[in-house]
Every structure is written in structure tokens, then in C-alpha cells.
Amino acid sequence: MTQPLQQVDASGRLRHLVTLDGLDAGLMRELMARARAYLCQPGQLAVHGDDLRGWTVANLFSEPSTRTRASFELAALRLGADVVNLDVMLSSRVKGESIIDTIYTLEAMQVNVFVIRDAQPGIVESVAQQVGEHVSVISGGEAHISHPTQGLLDALTIQQLKGGFDNLTVTVVGDIRHSRVARSAHRALTALGIAELRLVAPEEMMPESHEFQGARRFSSFDEGLAGADVVMMLRIQKERIAGSVPTDIGRYSEHYGLTAARLARAKRDAIVMHPGPMNRGVEITSEVADGPQSVIRRQVANGVAMRMAVLAHIAEARRRRAS
Ligand code: NCD
């Protein structure tokens, strides 16, 4: 039996980032502080660095992704890395090559970091267990299980706009059962000490009762919204619902869609988040998505900064181990 993955090294620095489970809140705060240094005002030139000069990052995405993949690619490029993007599904699996052969092939081409998105639970960790000593693995989203950089960028967004985490009520709404974004948000925000996490979903989209420890569950959106500081909307994960009862989109939208009238039940200064891609008119109206309380584009900007922070941290930890 393989040992559970150790994603931090002996000095508590990240070697891999596969999950936020067990990740220390101090380390999360350090990554947020590092990410803030990479942010700039819209219209300014992007911040660059050379922390990854000489490194090669391979993005292996076997599920569709525009923003996460572009975000990792820009983060690596802006830190001076060489980047290669591979659609694993189209290349190796179709030819019958196992994923680990693809990894070894790329390792032989001097890849130092693999960013992996896959629909199969366990793949990211299994690759991390098998790569060479000098190679790191970062999850770009694993099945419904975890999306660690998304959890961190969401935490950063909340920290920026709310000034911290104490006393905050965060309401997560929608297809929580199939959402890696919600699971990673739960990990991050619980570790960072928010006051209350609320889950709002119809029965078929609620996670199992043993999951999301400490969260309060609501079937009524209006009740779950009352007094919330942060409203995090989620996309219906149609690709993961296969086999279960089909959701009536019109009905869903009526009960769980975020409209301006409904948003008025949250705190006046509540912020609205969505990881994208959005189904406008289903889980959120355009009026809210593009309105003054929406921080959706801020999340995207923070995503690149957070991925730069994670990459720079991993590179620094590797240099420390090597010296
Ligand atoms: C999410 C994902 O792929 O997990 N999007 C993202 O990473 N920005 C959410 C989703 O697909 O609904």
C-alpha cells in the first residue's frame, strides 16, 4: 500500500498542491500575502517575476477548461517559465498510453511542474506519488473532490473585499454535491475561521450528510441569504449529474437563481462570487453578475496572482531543499 501523499516537505513548505485538506491556515495566509504582491490595477501592465526562470510547467487538462488553464499558463509565463499545454484526453489516452507514461515522457523533457485537471478521482495524487524527487504536481481541479487554487483565490477575494474572515457568513448556493469549488471553499474558509458557512441547494444537489462539517444547510434560498456577507453561486455540473434525476432548469432558476430582488435579502454590502463559467439566466441574472456587488472578474484576476504565488512558493521551497 502506498503511503498517504505528503504534500509539504520537512520544513512545512509545499512540494505539491493536491488538496487543501490539512493545509495550515498560516500557509494559506502566506500564499494570500504573496498573491497580493502580484496584483495590479486594471489597465496596468501585468506584474512579472523570474522565480520560475529555467523551469518548465506542463498543463495537463483532460476536462474542458478555459479560465483555469489560461490562468495557470499566464501565471507560469509571467514568472519566466517555459510552458507546454497538453490535452491528455486527445493525445495519450486515445492511443492507449497510460497517464504515467505521459508523465515520464514529459519528465524526460525536463518538466518541473505538472498542473493536472482530471475527472477521475485520485489521478492527481497518484501522479504526485510517482513523479521524480525534483518534480511537483498541482491540482487544476479533481473530479468533484477538490480545486485547491480556486479555494485559495476565493479566500483571497473575500479577504480583500471584507478585510478578513472573522464574523463572516458565507452562503454557497447551487450544485454543491458535484462541486469541487464548494469543497475547497469549505476547507479554506473553515481553516481561516469564518463565523458561518451556509449551504443552499435542492435535495438532489446537497452533499452527503457527513460532508461539509460545521456548515448549516438550507433548502430555502431566502432563509440562507438572510444577513449573508458573501454569496457564492455555483454552476449546475450537468456533466456530473448523469444518472440522477434530471433537474427542471426553469424550476431551479425560480428557486435558486440569484436575482437583484433576492440579493437584497443579504447584507447591503454583500459580495457575489461565481467561479465561472456562468449560466446567465439560470443560476444568476446578468443584472447581478455584472452589477455593483459582483466580484466575479476580481476572482479571475486573483486567480492568476494566486497561481503565481503557489508556483513561486513551490520553486522557492525546492531551491531551499536543494541548497
Ligand atoms: C469550475 C471548475 O471547473 O471546477 N470552474 C473553474 O475552475 N473556474 C467550476 C465549474 O466548472 O462549474
- Tell me the pLDDT tens digit for each residue of 112-136: 999 999 988 998 999 999 999 999 9
pTM for this prediction: 0.95
Strand ranges (E), 162-289: 169-173, 196-200, 216-218, 230-233, 271-273
Cell numbers representing residue 54 in the block: 529555467
Mean pLDDT of all residues belonging to the chain = 93
Q: What is the mean pLDDT of residues 32-41?
A: 96
- Give the mean pLDDT of 301-319: 98
Atom number, ligand 1, closest to the C-alpha of residue 180: 4
Separation CA 170–CA 168 (nearest Å): 6
| Per-residue pLDDT reduced to its tens digit, 77-118 | 999 999 999 987 644 555 566 788 889 999 999 999 999 999
Atom of ligand 1 nearest to the CA of 147: 4
Query: How far is Cα 224 from Cα 216, in angstroms, rounded to an integer?
Result: 9
- How far are the Cα atoms of 85, 148, 168, 259, 304 from residue 73, in angstroms, in the given order? 8, 16, 33, 34, 9
Ligand 1, atom 7: closest residue by C-alpha: 68
Per-residue model confidence as pLDDT tens digits over 240-293: 666 555 678 889 999 999 999 999 999 999 999 999 999 999 999 999 999 999
Q: Which residue has the cell 456577507?
A: 229
Interatomic CA distance for residues 311 and 291, integer angstroms: 33
Q: What percent of the chain has pLDDT over 70?
A: 94
User: Under a CB-based contact definition with an 8 Å cutoff, are residues 310 and 14 in contact?
Assistant: yes
Predicted confidence at residue 246, as pLDDT, reads 60
Give the per-residue pLDDT at 218. 98
Q: Which of 115, 142, 146, 181 to mutate to test the pocket of ligand 1 (most atoms within 8 A of CB)?
A: 181
237 CA: nearest ligand 1 atom: 12
**DSSP state letter for 208:** P
**322 alpha carbon – ligand 1 mean position (Å):** 35
Enumerate residues lining ligand 1, CB below 6 A: 65, 67-68, 141, 147, 150, 180-181, 235, 237, 275-276
Using an 8 Å Cβ cutoff, are 228 and 267 in contact? yes
Average pLDDT over residues 147-175: 98
User: Looking at residue 91, what is its pLDDT?
Assistant: 46
